[in-house]
Amino acid sequence: MSILPRISSATALHGISVVSPSGRRLGTLDDVIVGVTTGRVLHATILLDEPSELGEQLYAVPWEALTLDTAYDRCVLNVPIETLRAAPAFPNRHAVNDADPRLRRMIHDHFGAYRPAA
As a whole number, mean pLDDT of residues 66-85 equals: 88
Question: Bigger pLDDT: 118 or 43?
Answer: 43
Residues with Cβ within 8 Å of 71's Cβ and at least 6 positions away in sequence, in order, are 2
pLDDT at residue 54 is higher than 70: no
| CB atoms near residue 94 (< 10 Å) | 8
Tell me what pLDDT residue 5 has.
Answer: 55
- End-to-end Cα separation, the chain, in angstroms: 36
Q: Domain coordinates of the chain in residue numbers?
A: 13-110
Average pLDDT taken over every residue of the chain: 81
pLDDT at 2: 55
Total number of residues shown for the chain: 118
Q: What is the pLDDT of residue 1?
A: 47
- Specify the fold of 13-110: SH3 type barrels. (2.30.30)
Tell me what pLDDT residue 82 has.
Answer: 83
- pLDDT, residue 17, reads 94
Q: Whole-angstrom Cα distance, residue 49 to residue 58?
A: 10
> Smallest Cα–Cα separation from 31: which of 115, 112, 100, 92?
92
Q: Give the range among 3-12, 37-46, 81-90 with minimum mean pLDDT.
A: 3-12
More confident residue, 99 or 33: 33
Residue 117's pLDDT band, with cuts at 50, 70 and 90, is very low
| String of DSSP letters for 67-109 | EEETTTTEEEE-S-HHHHHTS-EESSGGG--TT-HHHHHHHHH
